[in-house]
Amino acid sequence: MQEIPKPSNKQPCHPLDDLIRTDRIPHIWCPGCGIGTVFSSCLAALKGSGINLRKTVMVSGIGCSGRAAGYVNLDSFHTTHGRAIPFATGLKLANPELNIVVFSGDGDLFAIGGNHFIHAARRNMDMTVICVNNLNYGMTGGQVAATTPYLAKSTTTPVGNPETPFNLPLMAYACGATYVARWTMLHIRDLTDSITEAIGKKGFSFIEALSPCPVNYGRRNKQKPLEMLKVYQEKAIIKNDADPSTLDIDFEKGIILGKFVDVDRPTFIEHYDKIYRPSRLQESVPGLNS
């Protein structure tokens, strides 16, 4: 007679547990929020990239997405509002061997932190920036943001936003980013593959990840969580190499997703070393001046 196995008291292990500070779980993200999904894609990409995780740092700013740095089981910095990229720049300059990933939100990176984004991309700082765009200031009450669609409602624009929002991929491209892509949190495999590719790319890489905010943005604009996911599914137009100037978010006509920029150019540190530290550059990039 076959012996029936005894039940095990051992809890199942999640494949990303080694990259999560499980003592800080449960997280603070709201039901229906997509930040956790984007965060999981980022962790899966870090594992799949093959980089040395002992030399990898995650940096974030203030806001819902900024909490990611507190949950990741890597060296991490949860910085002041809008200052994730300057902190990340300092880390990279102090130790060029580090792999730098900035994980933050649209308000932190493109409103109060917009100037820092512009100049980091212009300098081609070697880092990967992941922006979770939920179209409003989700953590502080749902105020209008630099990415809030025209006529969309928020706590500070109760009858509709009168401003034109940023086209984030266009801004990244115009400022000099070497890798630019956009996906939604519903396109998990594409998003994970894109983050993996961006991490392995030398220079300033940028990925916009669209994510619903059901509690603030969704409620005021009469969008239920599943309805927003349906929009992501039905309105997504995957168009790699699309002209960045055509990437304005339009939930009626469609949302263009894909990889739009993938070019090579010298990083800031390479330029700096060529001028001020030619001997170190020759050691790190053999044959560069031959």
pLDDT confidence bin for 222, thresholds 50/70/90: very high
**Which DSSP letter does residue 95 get?**
-
The confidence score (pLDDT) of residue 173 equals 98
Structure tokens that stand for 277 in this block: 């530290």
Question: Percentage of residues in the chain with pLDDT exceeding 70?
Answer: 92
Average pLDDT over residues 221-228: 90
Q: CA distances (Å), 56 to each of 59, 75, 85, 124, in order?
A: 10, 7, 15, 19
Average per-residue pLDDT in the chain? 92
Question: Percentage of residues in the chain with pLDDT exceeding 90?
Answer: 83
pLDDT confidence bin for 224, thresholds 50/70/90: confident
pLDDT digits (tens, 9 = 90+) for 115-150: 999 999 999 999 999 999 999 999 888 999 999 999
Give the residue among 159, 163, 157, 95 at the shortest CA–CA distance from 126.
95
Task: Give the list of residues 6+ apart from residue 136 with CB closer than 8 angstroms, or none.
Answer: 107, 142, 143, 144, 145, 147, 148, 154, 213, 216, 217
Q: Structural domains in the chain? A: 34-284 (3.40.50.970)
- State which H helix or E strand residue 207 sits in: strand 204-210
pLDDT confidence bin for 20, thresholds 50/70/90: very high
Interhelix angle for 84-94 vs 114-123, to 10°? 30
Average pLDDT over residues 171-190: 97
CA angle 241, 170, 39 (to 5 degrees): 85
Is the pLDDT at 1 greater than 60? The verdict is no
Residues in a beta bridge with 99: 56
Average pLDDT over residues 84-88: 97
pLDDT digits (tens, 9 = 90+) for 66-80: 999 999 999 999 999
Give the Cα separation of 249 and 167 in Å (integer). 7
Cis peptide bond prior to 26, omega within 30° of 0: yes
Give the Cα separation of 87 and 60 in Å (integer). 9
CA angle 133, 144, 183 (to 5 degrees): 15
The confidence score (pLDDT) of residue 281 equals 59
